[in-house]
């Protein structure tokens, strides 16, 4: 064992004699990849971490925290995942441990020699999985600071062995590395060469003929002027699909920073780029000669458009196809190409596999040419209006009117206060609030009076004036406004074709406020035409947006025409043939699958412990589906289980939900699934992870389940009856006889997740315990309210009259407290009533608090709930003499009715 360790240390640690490490004065802790000529071979990439359970990698003899006998900050290397104290980073040189090399020296060996990648072995004190040699798992130490090394693994291929001679044989050290499961997309370090700066032409010419110098000196001088420290020399590899990853760290509530670190672990760090560090152009130029190159854009649709525009400038032939990891707010292009509506927690390893296996499709791209309108009325001139659009090309849509005005206000507010827009939820809340304000002011009602529209030579201006739209959209892809489908399904209309993103046609759609409201529940706008060229003339300054980039454009003449087609990667089902339950058995004709539900509280606490999470699940019932079903079909079957509640288990269900030896039957939940539930993959990763609803048609049920299907319900409220265990949720008792079912109903539908209710009293009689929290809400003291909640106070507390903290926050007029409660309390609080039957929305409407009304409505509160006088929130606004607020509430009430009818029709 000692021989193996010493040989391992010598192999991974010895410095390259051709390289000189930086002096102490020049050394710095790097958090990004160094592309300069002073880059250090095998340099670590550090980021701060709080994994205090990991023992410092330098060992006790060199550890500064051990010597100083005090806790120190820690850092983790993104590329090899070792953890050290920040002051101990310099000590790594004393033990000669470098990171996995991401490049090679051009002069270190003959370029024509076959070059292989060697393993980069690292000692591990904790390791998941099984030993590649003996097949046994790695013993996990329970000590908080485990000093014993249990495994040796490679940072490239991720192979792991027990740290003993019988498993990790010495010959493993010298074996070439395969680069692991994602070798096809990894850029090998042997392809990336660091080159020396060219010598002075005058000195080098002494070794050459004078005639040769005259011919080449000008060329060499030019080369020196554009010299770069690194070049890419790809080896012939027809089966490879090398990948460049571009991450926008500002997208999606700052998810990007963690994603950069994860990709550096799976790939070569020199193929992962932070777009905030100079953009994509230099990286694309560097890799332009790599065959079969693919790109993964991690960000919103704007990030994708940015990369496509740079590809246009560089004129790469053929242009590399672009895949998408959606981190933005809308992600409509990502939805169109099956990448989903937003990244949650799918393992990045699976995403790399999808990028490798995805199909290449084409995406139309459209030119926008703007000219001033000479016929515009000078009196209508707006000095603040721009004379050009923010982009001259669009991939998703170009629009003007209501939606552009909302986006412009959001954009201006985010520029002024970026710290307030750090999550998708807050971004969407602001969008909705701005839309509410614009609806009340009616600022886009006269749009039709100020535009002229000609499509493929046909003047549609009179048609627009008859429709009187408040928004015009020129749509290239089927999705718009965070996943809606404004073109709808025109199959019943012979005048139009189904929409495509590669047919060279653009769809022109008009929206009134009514059709915009119906859009969220499956409605569509007014289909005006499908065309190849558009001339749009405006006669006053109008808000417009190009793929989400807004501006207020002065009176102009805008020409829209096809620019080109970009190559994109579309996510597809990975299996081309009939899926298998396992390697031996084909899928049966029909599957009988148990369905169990998991709460968000349990998921967040246990999703890395699959067995405990399975134990915490609550059965919903049994579905029977064809063996080759995808998850979309399973969804319809699961929703049919919800038709009759409380559930009445059949004899078969009673048999299938027996636990262990059958002595203790499992029980069924009597809470309906919320509309936001999603499937969980419990089989293909080390942990559970969510499946985006937009990707359900891409997943076979047999890929994520073999006998039991798990779903996540983010709004599941787990409550407890008197006399039950604190961990026992309210369930339907399957041990009752079929003729007389016995049910254990919740003690309070408003109890917080994972917290037992204080008693079994009815909801309106719930005792109040947190008077301080109620008082903070009454006084509007946001900081005190937040402090009390973080200290463990219950947001679902009520006072003696049954009023919640949301009722009191509304009365005090504190918008901050209202937003905080909406973001952190269970959704049941929105429709909770006090002793007079009033919800918080009733009170906000009566007090004419428009913004607070909007917050509560957009969070999902019911507008059809009545108080003891039979009044809805709209009636309370009318009684308060606020007709604009009443009109808004009536509009949203109509929207909810459409949504409910649509759901009932679907069922």
Top pLDDT among 14 and 678 is at 678
Lowest mean pLDDT among 350-354, 519-523, 654-658: 654-658
- pLDDT score for 715: 74
**pLDDT above 80: residue 768:** no
- pLDDT score for 142: 44
Rounded CA gap, 746 and 735, in Å?
A: 18
Rounded CA gap, 182 and 267, in Å?
A: 8
Average pLDDT over residues 170-182: 80
**pLDDT above 70: residue 751:** no
Top pLDDT among 430 and 507 is at 507
Q: Provide the 10 A C-beta neighbour count for residue 33.
A: 21
Lowest mean pLDDT among 126-130, 137-141, 277-281: 137-141
Residue (of 181, 139, 142) closest to 162 by Cα position: 139
* Widest pairwise Cα distance in the chain: 107
- pLDDT score for 292: 94
Model confidence band, residue 749 (pLDDT cutoffs 50, 70, 90): very low
Average pLDDT over residues 126-154: 76
Give all domains of the chain, ordered by start, each with its CATH number: 1-180 (no CATH), 232-357 (3.40.50), 366-564 (2.60.200), 590-743 (no CATH), 768-906 (1.25.40.20)
Model confidence band, residue 885 (pLDDT cutoffs 50, 70, 90): confident
- pLDDT score for 297: 96
Query: What is the per-residue pLDDT across 229-244, written as a single tens digit (0 to 9) for each?
Result: 999 999 888 889 999 9
Top pLDDT among 15 and 75 is at 75
- pLDDT score for 27: 52
Average pLDDT, the chain: 78
Residue (of 405, 469, 526, 523) closest to 894 by Cα position: 523
Residues 6+ apart with CB under 8 A from 897: 864
Average pLDDT over residues 507-513: 90
Helix then strand then coil, in percent of the chain rounded to 5, is 35, 20, 45
Average pLDDT over residues 663-677: 67
**pLDDT above 60: residue 593:** yes
Top pLDDT among 103 and 667 is at 103
**pLDDT above 50: residue 220:** no
8 Å CB contact between 844 and 852: yes
Top pLDDT among 426 and 392 is at 392
Rounded CA gap, 754 and 223, in Å?
A: 66
Lowest mean pLDDT among 279-293, 692-706, 735-749: 735-749
Rounded CA gap, 590 and 603, in Å?
A: 30
723 φ, ψ (degrees, to nearest 5): 90, -5
**pLDDT above 70: residue 145:** no
Q: Say if strands 272-274 and 243-247 run parallel, antiparallel, or are unpaired.
A: parallel
- pLDDT score for 16: 40
Q: How far is CA 188 from the centre of its chain?
A: 28
Rounded CA gap, 120 and 79, in Å?
A: 11
Top pLDDT among 344 and 34 is at 34
**723-732, 812-821, 898-907 — most confident range:** 812-821
Rounded CA gap, 107 and 102, in Å?
A: 16
Percent of the chain with pLDDT over 90: 34
- pLDDT score for 463: 92
**pLDDT above 90: residue 767:** no
Average pLDDT over residues 795-823: 90
DSSP secondary structure, 619-636, as one string: EEEEEEEETT-BHHHHHH
- pLDDT score for 497: 86
Top pLDDT among 667 and 654 is at 667
- pLDDT score for 729: 39
Query: What is the per-residue pLDDT across 823-873, written as a single tens digit (0 to 9) for each?
Result: 888 888 998 988 888 999 999 999 999 889 888 988 888 888 888 888 889
Model confidence band, residue 688 (pLDDT cutoffs 50, 70, 90): confident
Average pLDDT over residues 641-648: 62
Query: What is the per-residue pLDDT across 147-169, written as a single tens digit (0 to 9) for each?
Result: 678 899 999 999 999 888 888 87
**pLDDT above 50: residue 143:** no
Top pLDDT among 519 and 192 is at 192
**pLDDT above 60: residue 424:** no
**pLDDT above 70: residue 698:** yes
DSSP label at residue 257: H
Whether cis (ω within 30° of 0) applies to the bond prior to 318 is yes
Query: What is the per-residue pLDDT across 561-588, written as a single tens digit (0 to 9) for each?
Result: 999 999 999 998 765 434 444 444 566 7
- pLDDT score for 727: 35
- pLDDT score for 629: 87
Model confidence band, residue 721 (pLDDT cutoffs 50, 70, 90): very low
**pLDDT above 50: residue 638:** yes
**pLDDT above 80: residue 436:** no
**pLDDT above 80: residue 255:** no
Model confidence band, residue 725 (pLDDT cutoffs 50, 70, 90): very low
């Amino acid at each position: 064992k000692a021989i193996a360790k010493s040989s391992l240390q010598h192999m991974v640690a010895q410095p390259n004699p051709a390289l000189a490490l930086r002096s102490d004065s020049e050394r710095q802790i790097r958090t990004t990849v160094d592309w300069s000529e002073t880059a250090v071979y095998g340099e670590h990439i550090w980021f701060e971490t709080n994994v205090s359970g990991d023992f410092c990698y330098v060992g006790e003899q060199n550890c500064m925290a051990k010597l100083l006998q005090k806790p120190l900050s820690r850092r983790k290397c993104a590329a090899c995942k070792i953890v050290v104290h920040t002051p101990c980073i310099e000590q790594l040189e004393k033990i000669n441990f470098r990171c996995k090399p991401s490049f090679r020296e051009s002069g270190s060996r003959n370029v024509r020699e076959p070059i292989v990648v060697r393993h980069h072995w690292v000692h591990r004190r904790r390791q998941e999985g099984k030993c590649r040699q003996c097949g046994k798992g790695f013993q996990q130490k329970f000590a908080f600071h485990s000093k014993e090394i249990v495994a040796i693994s490679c940072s490239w291929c991720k192979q792991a062995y027990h740290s003993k001679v019988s498993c990790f044989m010495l010959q493993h050290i010298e074996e070439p590395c395969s680069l692991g499961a994602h070798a096809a997309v990894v850029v090998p370090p042997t392809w990336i060469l660091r080159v020396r700066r060219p010598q002075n032409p005058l000195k080098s010419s002494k070794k050459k003929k004078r005639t040769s110098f005259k011919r080449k000196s000008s060329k060499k001088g030019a080369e020196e002027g554009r010299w770069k420290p690194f070049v890419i020399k790809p080896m012939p590899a027809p089966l490879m699909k090398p990948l460049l990853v571009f991450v926008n760290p500002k997208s999606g509530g700052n998810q990007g920073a963690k994603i950069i670190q994860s990709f550096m672990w799976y790939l070569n760090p020199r193929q992962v780029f932070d777009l905030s560090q100079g953009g994509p152009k230099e990286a694309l130029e560097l890799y332009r000669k790599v065959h079969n190159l693919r790109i993964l854009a991690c960000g919103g649709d704007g990030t994708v458009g940015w990369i496509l525009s740079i590809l246009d400038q560089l004129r790469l032939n053929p242009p590399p196809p672009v895949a998408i990891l959606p981190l933005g707010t809308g992600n409509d292009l990502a939805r169109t190409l099956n990448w989903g509506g937003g990244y949650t927690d799918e393992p990045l390893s699976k995403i790399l596999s999808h990028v490798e296996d995805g199909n290449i499709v084409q995406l139309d791209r459209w030119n926008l040419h703007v000219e001033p309108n000479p016929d515009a009325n000078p009196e209508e001139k707006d000095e603040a209006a721009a004379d050009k659009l923010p982009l001259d090309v669009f991939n998703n849509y170009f629009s003007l009117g209501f939606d552009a005005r909302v986006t412009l206000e959001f954009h201006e507010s985010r520029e002024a206060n970026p710290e307030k827009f750090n999550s998708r939820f807050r971004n969407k809340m602001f969008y909705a609030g701005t839309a509410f304000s614009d609806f009340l002011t009616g600022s886009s009602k006269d749009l039709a009076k100020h535009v002229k529209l000609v499509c493929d030579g046909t003047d549609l201006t009179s048609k627009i004036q008859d429709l009187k739209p408040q928004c015009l959209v020129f749509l290239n892809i089927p999705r718009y406004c965070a996943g809606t489908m404004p073109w709808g399904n025109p199959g019943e209309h012979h005048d139009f074709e189904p929409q495509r993103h590669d047919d060279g046609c653009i769809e022109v759609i008009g929206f009134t406020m009514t059709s915009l409201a119906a859009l969220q529940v499956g409605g569509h706008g007014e289909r005006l035409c499908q065309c190849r060229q558009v001339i749009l003339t405006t006669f006053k300054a109008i808000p417009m947006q190009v793929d989400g980039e807004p501006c207020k454009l002065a009176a102009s003449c805008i020409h829209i025409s096809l620019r080109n087609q970009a190559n994109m990667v579309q996510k597809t089902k990975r299996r081309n043939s009939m899926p298998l339950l396992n390697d031996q058995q084909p899928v049966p004709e029909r599957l009988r699958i148990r369905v169990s539900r998991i709460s968000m509280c349990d998921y967040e606490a246990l999703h890395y412990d699959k067995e405990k999470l399975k134990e915490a699940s609550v059965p919903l019932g049994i579905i029977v589906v064809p063996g080759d079903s995808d998850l979309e079909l399973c969804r319809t079957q699961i929703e049919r289980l919800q038709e009759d509640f409380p559930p009445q288990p059949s004899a078969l269900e009673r048999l299938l939900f027996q636990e262990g030896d059958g002595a203790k039957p499992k029980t069924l939940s009597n809470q309906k699934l919320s509309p936001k539930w999603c499937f969980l993959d419990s089989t293909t990763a080390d942990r559970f992870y969510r499946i985006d609803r937009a990707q359900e048609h891409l997943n076979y049920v047999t890929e994520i389940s073999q006998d039991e299907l798990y779903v996540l319900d983010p709004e599941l409220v787990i409550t407890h009856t008197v006399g039950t265990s604190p961990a026992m949720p309210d369930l339907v008792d399957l041990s009752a006889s079929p003729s007389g079912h016995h049910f254990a109903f919740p003690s309070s539908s408003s109890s917080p997740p994972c917290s037992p209710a204080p008693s079994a009293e009815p909801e309106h009689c719930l005792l109040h315990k947190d008077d301080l929290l109620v008082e903070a809400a009454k006084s509007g003291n946001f900081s005190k309210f937040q402090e009390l909640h973080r200290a463990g106070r219950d947001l679902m507390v009520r006072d003696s009259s049954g009023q919640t903290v949301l009722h009191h926050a509304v009365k005090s007029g504190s918008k901050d407290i209202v937003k905080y409660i909406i973001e952190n309390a269970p959704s049941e609080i929105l429709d909770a009533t006090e002793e007079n039957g009033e919800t918080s929305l009733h009170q906000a409407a009566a007090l004419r608090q428009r913004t607070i009304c909007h917050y509560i409505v957009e969070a999902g509160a019911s507008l059809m709930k009545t108080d003891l006088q039979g009044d809805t929130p709209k009636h309370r606004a009318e009684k308060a003499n606020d007709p604009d607020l009443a009109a808004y509430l009536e509009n949203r009430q109509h929207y909810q009715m459409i949504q409910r009818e649509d759901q009932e029709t679907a069922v």
